[in-house]
Structure 1
Amino acid sequence: MHFQWYPGHMTKAKRMMQENIKLIDLVIELVDARVPMSSRNPEIDELGKNKARLILLNKSDLAEDRWNDAWAEYFKAKGFSVVKVNSKKGGGIKSIQGVIQEACKEKIERDRKRGILNRPVRAMVVGIPNVGKSTFINALAGKACTKTGNKPGVTKGKQWIRLNKNVELLDTPGILWPKFEDQTVGLRLAFIGSIKDEILQKEELALDMIGFLQKNYAGVLAEKYGIDESGDAFTCLKNIAESRHCLVRGNELDTDKAAMLFIDDFRNGRLGKLTLEFPQDYD
């Protein structure tokens, strides 16, 4: 399966971000804690150079705690401020304001020396589609100030949101980049729902995920679905279909339906805490 999804509005969104970056003190980049590197748009580093940087490991409740900690250390070593957050339930949100002030202390000090007091920090919130930017902003602001949705591409234009007298946020649409150099990145983004489901082969996607779990998380499939997971990936998928009564025309197994159900279980954390990539692979 070849992964690519770069609709026209993403080109427009990127241009808008480039035009607004001169107004910005801090770039807040949300990544999915299950795939922290694959869910980083490589163009953001270029966009945000010379700006203070904060990476939020969002959906950290869906990833393994030990790997969340390892990824936080990895990004800190590269010079980023890092916070683990769970925007849906508010985990980690309370610490964000303090981290923003700390990340921008040089700018605040520069302003003070020039006699500019109380100018709010302006932060641009960036991230790929479906990584949880709108949910994060609503959690941070304490009110529903942006549209949210569990499908990629809900935020279409830019929005300024004044959090308080100290911080203003610029929300931006989720953008991917025109070409995945490594198709493994596309595969991982498909797993977490950042590529439009309509263009994906669900069964193929499920088989890749089953293979990954057999190798890295032995026992998870057996425990969740009560199946023998020792066979090949397709046998496992058929076992899941049987276990979940996914049938068509009488008693024929519906592996398509089982694949969708299985991917949905992964995306929503029903298979437990799972991390799909590891810092040592990026050293």
Structure 2
Amino acid sequence: MQIHWFPGHMNKARKEIKQIMPRIDVVIEILDARCPDTASSPLLAELRGDKPVLRLLSKSDLADPNTTKAWVNELTDGKTQVQAIINGQKNLRKQVVDWTKAMAPKRGNMIKPLRLLVVGIPNVGKSTLINTLVGKKIAKVGDEPAVTKGQQKVALADGVFIHDTPGVTWPKPKSIESGFRLAAAGSIRDTAMEYSDVAMFLVDYLQQAYPALLEKRYGVDISGDADEVIHRVGEKRGTITDGEVDFTKASEAIVRDFRTGRIGRISLEHPAKEVPFRFAPPPEEEEV
């Protein structure tokens, strides 16, 4: 399964970002802490140029804390500051304003307001951050990608303007495994993926990187191929249809457990450790 998902409004957002970027002082890029490299869009990197960037690793409470620390060190450079955040954390609004003002010290008043652009892939926590910064709900929040469809500009009381945009992906994931990471994290619509393929990718990864968490969560033998493990999970959980294990339902349960942190705090990639990509999805059938 090769994952492709680039709705028309995202292409429009890319054009809007290109137009507005010259008037922006600091770019805030929201990245999923579980897969920050995968979640960093090459389109955004191209569009922002040399603008100062504050990278916020969202959902860090779901990610492996040691791996998140490694990513903070890896992604920080001269014009890039990186902070791990939890949506709704105390004083986040003040912290973000302070971080960005320090990156553009000559701006941040009513004469020269600080102009921020919030960007990121779908379902990564942008709307939640916008609502936190403004102090009220102005951006629609959802648990699926592509909730925000249009650009909006919001003024804060302390000389800061925020521009929000729809989540932007790119026409083709960087690699097959990056497509599965995005699907597992919920940044690609479920209708554009197969739960069974994503679950097999997840189980194969967890067998190698987090075997103890996988075994503790499901209480089954985690040896063997990923599809065998999913079948055992289905038997244990009772996801039975017509007397047989419903593989799709069992797969969906595993993906949901990962997304909600029920399996544990898991990162899908590490800057210094490579986990072999052993899962080989079946080839797509050609139309005849």
Normalized against structure 2, the TM-score is what? Answer: 0.90
Residues 33 and 183 of structure 1, relative CA distance in 2, 3 Å threshold? same
Correspondent of 1:180 among 163, 173, 177: 173
Partner of residue 274, structure 1: 266
Partner of residue 238, structure 1: 231
Amino acid at match of 1:188: R
For structure 2, list consecutive stretches of 5 or more residues without a partner in the other structure: 275-288
Residues 88 and 238 of structure 1, relative CA distance in 2, 3 Å threshold? farther
TM-aligned CA deviation for residue 91 of structure 1: 7.6
Partner of residue 99, structure 2: 99
TM-aligned CA deviation for residue 89 of structure 1: 4.7
TM-aligned CA deviation for residue 162 of structure 1: 1.4
Taking only aligned residues, the RMSD between alpha carbons, in angstroms, comes to: 1.8
> SS in structure 2 opposite 1:56?
strand
CA contact (8 A) 2:38 2:174 kept: no
TM-aligned CA deviation for residue 45 of structure 1: 1.6
Partner of residue 277, structure 2: none
Residues 65 and 151 of structure 1, relative CA distance in 2, 3 Å threshold? same
Kindly, what percent of the aligned residue pairs are identical?
38
TM-aligned CA deviation for residue 8 of structure 1: 1.2
Residues 281 and 77 of structure 1, relative CA distance in 2, 3 Å threshold? farther
Within-5 A mapping of 1:1-283 = 1-77=1-77, 79-90=79-90, 92-105=92-105, 107-108=106-107, 118-249=111-242, 251-280=243-272
For structure 1, list consecutive stretches of 5 or more residues without a partner in the other structure: none
CA contact (8 A) 1:27 1:54 kept: yes
C-alpha separation between the residues in 2 aligned to 1:133 and 1:90? 17
Residues 260 and 34 of structure 1, relative CA distance in 2, 3 Å threshold? same
CA contact (8 A) 2:92 2:132 kept: no
Residues 254 and 91 of structure 1, relative CA distance in 2, 3 Å threshold? farther
Normalized against structure 1, the TM-score is what? Answer: 0.92
TM-aligned CA deviation for residue 43 of structure 1: 1.4
TM-aligned CA deviation for residue 179 of structure 1: 2.2
> SS in structure 1 opposite 2:36?
coil
Residues 273 and 92 of structure 1, relative CA distance in 2, 3 Å threshold? farther
Amino acid at match of 1:11: N
1:180-200 deviation digits (Å, cap 9, x = unpaired)? 242221111011111111121
TM-aligned CA deviation for residue 136 of structure 1: 1.2
C-alpha separation between the residues in 1 aligned to 2:110 and 2:184? 46
1:257-278 deviation digits (Å, cap 9, x = unpaired)? 0100110010111111001101
Partner of residue 284, structure 2: none
C-alpha separation between the residues in 1 aligned to 2:73 and 2:260? 26
Amino acid at match of 2:44: I
C-alpha separation between the residues in 2 aligned to 1:3 and 1:183? 8
> SS in structure 2 opposite 1:160?
strand
TM-aligned CA deviation for residue 94 of structure 1: 4.1
C-alpha separation between the residues in 1 aligned to 2:112 and 2:61? 34
> SS in structure 1 opposite 2:177?
helix
1:19-57 deviation digits (Å, cap 9, x = unpaired)? 111221011000000000000101112211131111000
> SS in structure 1 opposite 2:157?
coil
CA contact (8 A) 2:63 2:266 kept: yes
C-alpha separation between the residues in 2 aligned to 1:94 and 1:243? 47
